């Protein structure tokens, strides 16, 4: 009697799924089973349903030797009579059976098959009592991307110095930037929010990793998830089930290339004077790799980049700059998987003029010319709210047609607001449509939500103008005034941060918080918080800036406790203005004076200039007061929210249209598209007074 065991895995895979349901296969003769074969109950006289054999899910168990084989032919004798027989192998021999408890759980799970999809598709993820299968688009993308990855892992390619040239109108400006070796290792996945891009890629990476270990005894596959901004990193971490407050599990593109130096740092490469952060000097970058302090980019097998529409040509140049340092281009290119939606806003630094343009990945990898290098997911899985998606598509579909015409050299059809207005002219349970004349009512509703919630991403107001613009400042002051009036508290003067305020961190780099109630956390750039308390007190200077000469010095400091996206309270300290003063540099002793106004006295210290340089980012951060560290956050621009998901969004459609005369049309369209698609639950659209809408607002329920 020959026995074969089918191992069927889920997203994180590693165990036997519902053995009780699938039973044991017993055959009288030795057989070969190949990937893609169907095992039917009729053919092999079992009581099983038809099961499709998948690449990573096939293994043989030999009861005589107690070994698991990756051969496709059974040699085992006898039958597996119970599940305990399966759990006798060594862990190191069973990398696909780490979660042994799955084999012992005889849980009948509901299998969810997406609409218009095959019931033989693979699972994309699983929860306690439900298995969700891929839709047909996802299954097709899974097959192609997984095959691409495995082939590129087998056939690694040097990056080299020759670059690819592009000749389409959208892409030609990016000629000479991407090396051919890197381009050959690039693949893309396009999709609107909610199409399951992240879940699919996570499944593919998990399966490839398990298969490589099983088939090739590959030690491990090194992969890294990356996103252009800290907001995008946070959302990606949430999608992957990671701690989204942590720094490092997913990196920003700036972190990947060590663009982490402030202007004036002697550790920085020369750069644009307008750059907020500069690249770490190349020689220091090399030293950090040699000392094991930094993973070289070329050391990764796979790099997955989310929100790729925001990737700029400079981002790719930075990567190439680091490749040059790592192996002078004589290194193998990682596989790059770019995820994103070309309809969203391009990088800020690519919208200098009014021409129709996109970021480097959208214009090249996501171009129709390179259909063989990307897959597109179209079926929305995260939300069944058709009203929202009709609104999104009324803008996104026009952008799609415009980019096609532009690349074909045809005149671009101007954006037609009537198509957008025709699907957003009346309210529904989840969409509220009002006119600009109703702004005061919207402010009142917005303020009520802010008052009754601690969660800083419950609701946000977004339009085109940035926070320094007069339009934004005027509206911000009105909202905040109403907010504190409803709280029956005095309105803080001069934009001083007060308890109950909503704030956004202004720093360019993440900062660790002070221990509070036994916990420390991280404050990420552009993250939004609600202020729970504010106060003053004494604090050891060394606890803020770890210089040995600061030990034993106490200063007068101020603090706030903020509530973050992750539902945790975090303590942030800052020095009062004038507490720390940087003095003159002494070239003879190579020291610099630092004057500390401590609790008891004024202290003058001579500190080695090298030491100060090493701690300059700490020093620069704590030279700021709390009101300098944080900006009040009640309204923002479409660029502010790109990469985020927010439960309830108010979109100033009227404001975006007002600016359409002064900005690139593509920037206007993508601004509107990006703003609208941030909503995960409720969407409020404030239209110009000139647009006709139905007065059925009572159907909308802001709070259920």
pLDDT digits (tens, 9 = 90+) for 223-264: 999 999 999 999 999 999 899 999 888 999 999 999 999 887
**Do 7 and 72 fall into the same domain?**
yes
**Do 267 and 243 fall into the same domain?**
no
Number of C-alpha atoms within 13 angstroms, CB side, residue 511? 25
646-681: pLDDT as tens digits:
999 999 999 999 988 888 878 899 999 999 999 989
Residue 193, pLDDT above cutoff 90: no
618 close to 546: Cβ distance less than 8 angstroms: yes
Tell me, what's the pLDDT at 349?
58
Cα angle at 284 between 522 and 618, to 5 degrees? 35
Is the residue at 185 inside a domain? yes
Residue 216, pLDDT above cutoff 50: yes
**Do 335 and 455 fall into the same domain?**
no
What is the C-alpha separation between 395 and 424, in angstroms, rounded?
Answer: 11
Per-range mean pLDDT, top range of 59-68, 215-224, 425-434: 425-434
pLDDT band at 380 (very low <50, low <70, confident <90, very high): confident
**Do 433 and 534 fall into the same domain?**
no
Domain boundary among 269, 291, 313: 291
Is the residue at 704 inside a domain? no
**Do 224 and 273 fall into the same domain?**
no
Residue 448, pLDDT above cutoff 50: yes
Residue 560, pLDDT above cutoff 70: yes
Quote the mean pLDDT of the chain.
Answer: 83
Cα angle at 253 between 249 and 255, to 5 degrees? 65
Is the residue at 278 inside a domain? yes
Q: CB atoms < 10 A from the CB of 534, how many?
A: 18
Tell me, what's the pLDDT at 38?
35
What is the model's pTM? 0.83
Is the residue at 112 inside a domain? no
Q: What average pLDDT does the segment 89-98 reach?
A: 36
Is the residue at 438 inside a domain? yes
**Residue among 694, 114, 680 at smallest CA distance from 389:** 680
Give percent of the chain above pLDDT 70: 82
**Do 350 and 426 fall into the same domain?**
no
Tell me, what's the pLDDT at 218?
53
Lowest mean pLDDT among 357-371, 418-432, 507-521: 507-521
Tell me, what's the pLDDT at 55?
29
pLDDT band at 384 (very low <50, low <70, confident <90, very high): low
Tell me, what's the pLDDT at 82?
32
531 close to 497: Cβ distance less than 8 angstroms: yes
Residue 204, pLDDT above cutoff 80: yes
Tell me, what's the pLDDT at 417?
96
Q: What average pLDDT does the segment 313-325 reach?
A: 94
What is the C-alpha separation between 294 and 287, in angstroms, rounded?
Answer: 9
**Do 81 and 147 fall into the same domain?**
no
pLDDT band at 515 (very low <50, low <70, confident <90, very high): confident
Whole-angstrom CA distances from 308 to 80, 121, 237, 266 are 49, 27, 16, 31
Residue 15, pLDDT above cutoff 50: no
**Residue among 537, 522, 508, 628 at smallest CA distance from 571:** 522
Tell me, what's the pLDDT at 18?
30
Three-state DSSP class for 516?
Answer: strand
**Do 242 and 263 fall into the same domain?**
no
The helix (run of H) or strand (run of E) holding residue 478 is helix 470-486
Is the residue at 507 inside a domain? no
CA 597 vs. chain centroid, Å, equals 42
Which range of residues forms the domain containing residue 187? 135-255+294-380
**Do 357 and 494 fall into the same domain?**
no
Residue 33, pLDDT above cutoff 70: no
pLDDT band at 46 (very low <50, low <70, confident <90, very high): very low
Could you give the residue ranges of the DSSP H alpha helices within 155-304? Answer: 180-184, 197-216, 230-239, 253-256, 282-290
49 close to 21: Cβ distance less than 8 angstroms: no
Q: What average pLDDT does the segment 589-604 reach?
A: 95
Is the residue at 117 inside a domain? no
Q: CB atoms < 10 A from the CB of 560, how many?
A: 24
Here the CATH number for the domain that contains residue 674 is: 3.40.50.300
Tell me, what's the pLDDT at 130?
85
Residue 53, pLDDT above cutoff 80: no
Residue 34, pLDDT above cutoff 50: no
Q: What average pLDDT does the segment 615-629 reach?
A: 89
Number of domains making up the chain: 5
**Do 271 and 300 fall into the same domain?**
no
Tell me, what's the pLDDT at 95?
39
What is the C-alpha separation between 96 and 492, in angstroms, rounded?
Answer: 59
The alpha carbon dihedral of 436, 437, 441, 444 has a sign of positive
Tell me, what's the pLDDT at 356?
84
Q: What average pLDDT does the segment 56-84 reach?
A: 35
Query: Which long-range contacts link 690-699 to residues 24+ away (Cβ below 8 Å)?
Result: 691/421, 691/425, 691/435, 692/421, 692/425, 693/425, 693/426, 693/433, 693/434, 693/435, 694/425, 694/426, 694/427, 694/433, 696/426, 696/427, 697/427, 697/432, 697/433, 697/434, 698/427, 699/427, 699/428, 699/429
Is the residue at 92 inside a domain? yes
Residues 6+ apart with CB under 8 A from 179: 159, 160, 161, 162, 163, 164, 320, 323, 329, 333
**Do 306 and 163 fall into the same domain?**
yes
**Do 96 and 8 fall into the same domain?**
yes
The answer for 292, left when phi > 0, alpha when psi is -120 to 50, beta otherwise, is left
Cα angle at 14 between 11 and 19, to 5 degrees? 100
517 close to 504: Cβ distance less than 8 angstroms: no
């Amino acid at each position: 009697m020959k026995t074969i065991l089918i191992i069927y895995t889920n997203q994180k895979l590693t165990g036997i799924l519902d053995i009780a349901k699938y039973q044991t296969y017993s055959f009288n003769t030795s057989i070969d089973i190949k990937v893609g074969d169907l095992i039917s109950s009729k053919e092999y006289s079992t009581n099983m349903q038809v099961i499709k054999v998948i690449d990573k899910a096939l293994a043989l168990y030999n009861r005589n030797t107690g070994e698991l084989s990756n051969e496709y032919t059974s040699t085992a004798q006898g039958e597996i009579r119970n599940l305990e027989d399966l759990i006798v192998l060594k862990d190191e021999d069973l990398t696909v059976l780490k979660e042994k408890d799955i084999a012992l759980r005889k849980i009948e799970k509901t299998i969810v098959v997406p609409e218009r999809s095959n019931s033989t598709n693979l699972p994309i993820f699983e929860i306690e009592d439900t298995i969700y299968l891929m839709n047909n688009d996802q299954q097709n993308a899974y097959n192609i991307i997984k095959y691409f990855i495995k082939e590129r892992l087998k056939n690694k390619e040097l990056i080299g110095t020759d670059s690819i040239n592009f000749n389409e109108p959208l892409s030609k400006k990016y000629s000479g930037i991407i090396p051919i070796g890197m381009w050959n290792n690039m693949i893309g996945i396009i999709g609107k929010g909610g199409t399951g891009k992240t879940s699919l890629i996570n499944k593919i990476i998990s399966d490839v990793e398990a298969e490589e270990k099983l088939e090739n005894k590959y030690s491990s596959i090194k992969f890294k998830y990356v996103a252009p901004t800290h907001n995008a990193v946070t959302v990606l971490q949430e999608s992957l089930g990671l701690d989204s407050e942590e720094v490092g599990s997913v990196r920003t593109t700036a972190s990947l290339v060590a663009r982490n130096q402030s202007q004036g740092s002697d550790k920085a490469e020369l750069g644009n004077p307008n750059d907020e952060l500069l690249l770490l000097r190349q020689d220091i970058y090399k030293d950090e790799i040699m000392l094991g302090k930094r993973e070289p980019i070329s050391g990764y097998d796979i790099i997955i980049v989310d929100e790729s529409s925001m990737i700029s040509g400079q981002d790719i140049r930075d990567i190439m700059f680091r490749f040059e340092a790592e192996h002078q281009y004589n290194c193998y290119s990682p596989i790059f998987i770019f995820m994103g939606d070309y309809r969203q806003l391009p990088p800020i630094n690519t919208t200098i003029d009014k021409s129709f343009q996109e970021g480097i990945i959208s214009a090249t990898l996501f171009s129709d010319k390179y259909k063989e290098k990307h897959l597109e997911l179209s079926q929305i899985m995260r939300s069944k709210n058709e009203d929202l998606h009709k609104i999104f598509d009324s803008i996104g579909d026009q952008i799609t047609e415009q980019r096609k015409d532009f690349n074909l050299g045809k005149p671009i059809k101007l954006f037609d607001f009537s198509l957008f207005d025709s699907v957003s002219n009346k309210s529904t349970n989840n969409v509220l449509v009002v006119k600009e004349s109703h702004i005061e009512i919207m402010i009142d509703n917005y303020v009520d939500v802010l008052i009754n919630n601690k969660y800083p991403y419950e609701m946000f107001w977004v339009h085109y103008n940035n926070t320094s613009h007069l339009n934004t400042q005027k509206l911000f002051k009105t909202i905040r005034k109403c907010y504190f009036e409803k709280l029956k508290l005095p309105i803080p003067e001069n934009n001083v941060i007060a308890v109950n305020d909503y704030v956004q961190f202004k720093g360019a780099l993440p900062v660790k918080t002070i221990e509070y109630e036994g916990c420390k956390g991280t404050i990420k750039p552009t993250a939004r918080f609600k202020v729970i308390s504010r106060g003053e007190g004494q604090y050891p200077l060394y606890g803020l800036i770890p210089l040995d000469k600061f030990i034993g010095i106490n200063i007068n400091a101020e603090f706030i406790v903020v509530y973050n996206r992750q539902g945790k309270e975090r303590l942030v300290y800052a020095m009062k203005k004038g507490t720390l003063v940087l003095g003159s540099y002494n070239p003879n002793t190579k020291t610099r004076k630092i004057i500390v106004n401590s609790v008891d006295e004024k202290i003058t210290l001579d500190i080695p200039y090298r030491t100060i340089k090493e701690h300059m980012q700490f020093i620069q951060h704590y030279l700021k007061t709390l009101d300098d560290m944080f900006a009040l956050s009640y309204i923002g621009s479409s660029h502010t929210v790109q990469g985020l998901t927010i439960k309830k969004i108010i979109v100033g459609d009227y404001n975006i249209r007002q600016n359409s005369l002064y900005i690139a049309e593509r920037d206007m369209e993508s601004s509107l598209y990006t703003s609208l698609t941030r909503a995960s639950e409720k969407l409020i659209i404030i239209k110009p007074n000139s647009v006709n809408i139905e007065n059925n607002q009572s159907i909308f329920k802001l709070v259920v």
